[in-house]
Structure 1
Amino acid sequence: MSETTQSMQNVGPTSGAKFRQRTLPILIFIAIILAIPMTDPSRTVYTLVHQMAINIVFALAYNMLLGKGGMLSFGHAVYFGLGGYYCLHVMNWIAEGAGIWANFPVFFLPVLGFLAGGLSAAVIGSFSTRRAGTTFAMISLGVAELIASGAFMFDSLFGGEQGISGDRMNGPQVFGLSMGPMSDIYWFMAFWTVISIIAMYAFTRTPLGRLSEATRDNPQRVQFIGYNPTRVRWLVFTASGAFAGLAGGMSAVNYEIFTPEALSLIPSGFVLIMAYVGGITYFVGPIMGAILLTYMSSMMSDFTEAWLLYLGLMFVIIVMYAPRGIAGIVFGVWDGLTGPDKGTYIGRLLVQIAGMVLMLIGLIVLVEMSIRWSNGYGEVFEPFGLHLGTTNVLTWILIIVPIGAGAALLRRVNREKEEAVA
């Protein structure tokens, strides 16, 4: 073996790094799924976990496009929505005892969502994947607007503004689940989430999964070795749409209703943020992003009406300063803590955390004070009994000093890193 070949092999991650970044997070995730029912969760916890499960599958499906295939889509909710709508139609046919559907278990509706999402993606992808980059992104945006608008026109298919509703407690039972109680739906969600994660991970290890990454990086070289980049993009697009449809089927069973909003740009943008914030270069990145953003969207609104602003700021900061997302931060910290110079790394890490916390304090005071001032109701921000209004000097001290001190600490750490590299 030549020295060049050996050096190229050393560039790739070690077997230990592969286990930490790929296998271990999935095993931890499955262990958490099995442990949650043992804590006797409330209905609120069940609702939140179910939404996380749907978003995890949807985000992973989207990352098959963005992270592995390099295709930025602004309309992936189309396949999520079409899969969900089809499952609700089947759910109603099951309730009516219509033909072959009378004995079809509701538990397996995500399979039909998978087929519906995959078929629609195959049709749309047959022309949209002929282009890459910005052109592909614009086509996906146009298709999303087209189908979302059509959902309000074809009432028999989409139910108009009110959408289509159904009843999941029909048809034969599977695994003894009546599909009524929240605990039954939990195991339904757990089953399909784990199956989807395993299937999508297996897809990334197939030759097609490898080719999608090669097409993302260098389509000319893929064509040179005898493969058609357009066909590779189309196949990956179809698979991604199929898993998005599966997530739509899970959502149909969970909520028992689908409206045209599920086809709109809002869920398409949200899944993009989930995947990117989590980290599109890691398989587990979208899982982390889906969990975090689902929690933020469900819980932060109870504490502040500016939660969407915080979400947007977090997305901008991730894009600018941590392009590898939350997963990149987590694995980077782990590598630093287990590295040879961990003493210096821990010191810098603590300074960075202190700087970020200080800047966060100043930012929160600024945003919450501004929100209350802009509402015009005379309200002020009162954390820990402090009266922080626009005319209070303490308010501006708590904004300027923490932000300035935090920025100084972060600049100091960056300067030390630059000096160490030099």
Structure 2
Amino acid sequence: MFVSDCLGLNALGHLTIGGRDTVELAQTYGTPLYVMDEDEIRRACESYRESVNRYYGGRGLVTYASKAFCCKAVCRIVAEEGLGLDVVSGGELYTAKSVGFPPERIFFHGNNKTVQELIEALEYGVGTIVVDNFDELMLLDQLAVSRGKVAEILFRIKPGIDAHTHDFVRTGQIDSKFGLALETGEAMEAVRQAVGMKGVRLKGVHCHIGSQIFDIEPFEHAAEVMLGFMADVKAETGRELEILDLGGGFGIKYLPEHDPVQYDRYMQRVAGAVERTCKARGLRTPFIVIEPGRSIVGPAGLTLYTAGAVKEIPGVRTYLSVDGGMGDNPRYILYQAPYEAMVANRAAEPKTRTVTLAGRCCESGDLIGEHMQMQEARAGDIIAVLATGAYNYAMASNYNRIPRPPVVMLREGRARVVVRRESYEDLVRNDED
């Protein structure tokens, strides 16, 4: 019935998450409100961890892509679950440092890291820096040598894989701002340069073919292509790379009809492709890293709103306005991301209305979804938008000077605020008088 296992109905017919009544949560903490089920997050971490251990014999690491949802509480959870952490900015690294995340389990990504970010990574002892381009390689080498350090690196490679997803979230093809291309020979040239440098130690390669992918075949093909490149590196330089980072991009269920691949099935199939290719190309099986983000936190979250005006335009559409919008969820305006929504206080009733869920921002494109099936709604109802745990808080803004919502985390039914609601004072805090 629901897109996430942590959702349900109670005796009042209200929507629940983690066993808690969402209407009650909205009344206690106000709206808009992000709610996350910590138990669901931990279950996803455990599932990934167990799959990697089973199919790679313990020679692998699950690394959480923190860009999906980064705050102190999530970094602590990931650390406690024994996962690594993928960061892409100095801000994400600072958040990890603030909770003492083990630096050796941090992977620093990004296509245009600043000098200051690379210095911070070196000083904190970040375990792996994923180098994106030649300029970064030379800069990192210079910075490391000048500090008497050696940075362990992976190269980000574009494997040329079609991920069958939205153009904005396809990152493995040659026409991408990310990484080094195989077809042009620049990836091999980067390897040749790195081998002769004193400030870096090349440990392996990384790829990421896209996001919200439902097929297994693109991941299998990416593994085969990357291992083929690793075999070419061995033949040309004599160096056998130790690490293969296959990135993330695993799809989740945003709509009831979505059918994402189970983590276990993905791991089994890709592990088979790795084993076959290594045997055929004369390679030792490398240490495998995967980087799920959305699939760990996405299904564990929802956003609660209070309904405002209902505007019915005969023969056109019905607008249902809420007290949030593109400031707390810009994904529809960015790439028409689909969501399921419902009236939380009447969740047991049938969905009889088709509405456009509109935000409160002064922007005609401020929509959370169009042609959405929902229960009959009126002003004052609590509206729940499901599976918003990833890329909602992470992408939130203060457009129209609207404060960002708080995040409430549930653990065994107990609620706590992990990110407080912004105040008007927060909005002007950095303004000069």
TM-score (structure 1 length as normaliser) = 0.23
| Higher relative contact order (Cα pairs below 8 Å, separated by 6+ residues) | 1
* More helix per residue: 1
Larger radius of gyration: 1
